[in-house]
A and B are shown apart, each in its own frame.
Chain A
């Protein structure tokens, strides 16, 4: 059996740099081209989906969409549908205009309350006033590590969406959101393989604000697939979104990433990998989420490495 169809050249390059090619081959067996039977009811009870989309210039954007449980459903193993009427969307959300122009979509169904997540990458098949369909190209479960548990207690749709601000360098308000972040989503893209949505979690402070335009993030031990880093090796443009769970806001960042292998890490900030990555921020958007969400924080992942004091 050949491995060439599972990984692209960027993923292979990072797997080599990390010395984890063999592990990636072993772990790649979980990647399927349809949705696992047991994941379909899981998708059907979710209230949020993390999405990666790509704008007209080819830059990836990360976002989160919310809806009542059942708003997303996998009626077949080959397709996911998301019901989100146009009237309930934020017109300022880049996702909608991105997918209208470029069909690639990465998605991550993540249930923060039980630390389960399922990744589905593919292409837009339908977009209309009722919602959209995503045709599955690849689908696989991800591990529960580094996910902070939160329960969505209530969701209602009566809040008015709003663009609260946009800019190039972080200001005080956006800097505070980054510093307090324990849950971050990353969008990356490969011109042939498409977009990828992934989760990064840690103890608040794990995303270091080096200055107003530079973030530094440790890369914890993972599944060795390096979907995100593989994409970023080929195309360094990256989209990041950070939910402000208490403030009903979503911070979306765009910029360029640089991967740093073999770094000195005397404090153990990387959990032993010696890998960091940096994001040179080029723009940000701060939006109010178009629903009212009532989150209850439960606990931090017992896998989170230490953060800098």
Chain B
């Protein structure tokens, strides 16, 4: 388990209606080393006593402080609302050491960065690293409207021809295929955004000949859909049936029931909880499996199923 360190909130800066940037000063010493794409896990407790553990990408450093940006989410576990509504400059919270879960793979030919919404956060240090290295790269930043194109000071400081922004509500979703372009050796693609956008990016990249190992994703946001219905999950090998309510992941239900199951990221990115599907109709919400892998299995950490019954080979 990563060590926790205590940070003082030095400043909170507003970016549009739903994003607040926090400047976190480490108590006693310099900020820990971190790589572009890294995130920290903030550990804090709400006034009502609920404990939260939320992951946020490191946007950058300023004056010996880590910068993170928190979007207020109406759904989910409520941690972002606590950070927005209950924390002020002068208060402290705990954070893990930076985790390098989403690494920059600089392409020798071309590096494409795509950010959807608050997914801009890990892309900014990546873009700065590429800019500093003099690499050929392009940052595409999609948000619902211009007001939600946040952290403007950061992306406007990059090379003028390096950044393109898209306000999708008025302009519609841009042509992802054109944005990504055909793959050739030395090309790398990084994208961070909601899983629906990443799905579309994966499809567009595959159609243009991008091998999977050159496409790097970090996903966020709730995967549960409003239409999800309660699910009965039959574990064929274990001989157990679990009732899982929407909003809880199938993996978490299995872990709580002490079922023998392997897992790592719990975000549909690594595929290490992959389970064979014996019967049922999975709704895939991962960002790591290809069509062949999905044809016979699923990631129970984020995916769900149509109907009321799902049988896994676990």
Contact = CB atoms under 8 A, between A and B. Distances in A.
Interface of A: 1-3, 19-23, 25-30, 36-39, 41-42, 111, 114-118, 141-145, 223, 266, 268, 271-272, 302-303
Interface size class of B (residues with CB under 8 A): 35 or more
Interface of B: 1-4, 35, 38, 97-101, 103, 185, 211-214, 237-238, 257-265, 270-276, 290, 292-293, 295-297, 313-314
Given A19-B103, A22-B97, A26-B101, A39 B260 contact: yes
Given A38-B260, A114-B313, A268 B213 contact: yes
Given A1-B3, A28-B1, A115-B276, A302 B293 contact: yes
A266 B185 contact: yes
Contact of A2 (B3, B100, B259): B3
Contacts of A266: 185
Given A36-B258, A38-B261, A143-B273, A1 B1 contact: yes
A19 B313 contact: no
A22 B98 contact: yes
B296 A3 contact: no
Contacts of B276: 114-115
B260 A20 contact: no
B292 A25 contact: no
B40 to A, nearest CB: 10
Given A1-B3, A268-B211, A21 B100 contact: yes
A22 B261 contact: no
A41 B275 CA distance: 18
A1 B313 CA distance: 35
Given A144-B274, A145-B271, A268-B211, A23 B100 contact: yes
Nearest to B103: A19
Contacts of A25: 1-2, 97, 99
17 contacts: A2-B3, A22-B97, A23-B100, A26-B101, A28-B1, A38-B238, A38-B261, A41-B238, A42-B237, A42-B238, A114-B276, A114-B314, A116-B237, A142-B262, A272-B214, A303-B271, A303-B293
Given A116-B314, A144-B275, A145-B271, 4 more contacts: A116-B260, A141-B261, A144-B274, A272-B213
A143 B257 CA distance: 19
Interchain residue pairs A-B with the least CB separation, the first 8: A272-B213, A22-B99, A143-B272, A38-B260, A141-B262, A37-B258, A1-B1, A302-B293
B154 to A, nearest CB: 23
A302 B297 contact: yes
Given A1-B3, A271-B213, A302-B297, A144 B99 contact: no
Contacts of A38: 238, 257-261
A289 B85 CA distance: 66
The winner among B270, B272, B274, B290 for most chain A CB atoms within 10 A is: B272
A42 B3 contact: no
A25 B38 CA distance: 13
A19 B106 CA distance: 14
B266 to A, nearest CB: 10
B287 to A, nearest CB: 15
The winner among B238, B262, B271 for most chain A CB atoms within 10 A is: B262
Nearest to A26: B99
B3 A3 contact: yes
A272 B105 CA distance: 11
Contacts of A111: 237
A23 B264 CA distance: 9
Nearest to B262: A141
B263 A22 contact: no
Given A38-B259, A116-B314, A143-B264, A22 B296 contact: no
B237 A22 contact: no
A272 B275 CA distance: 23
Contacts of B214: 272
Contacts of B213: 268, 271-272
B262 to A, nearest CB: 4
A30 B259 CA distance: 13
A30 B2 CA distance: 13
The winner among B211, B292, B313 for most chain A CB atoms within 10 A is: B313
A12 B313 CA distance: 34
A117 B314 CA distance: 11
The winner among A25, A38, A141 for most chain B CB atoms within 10 A is: A38
A31 to B, nearest CB: 10
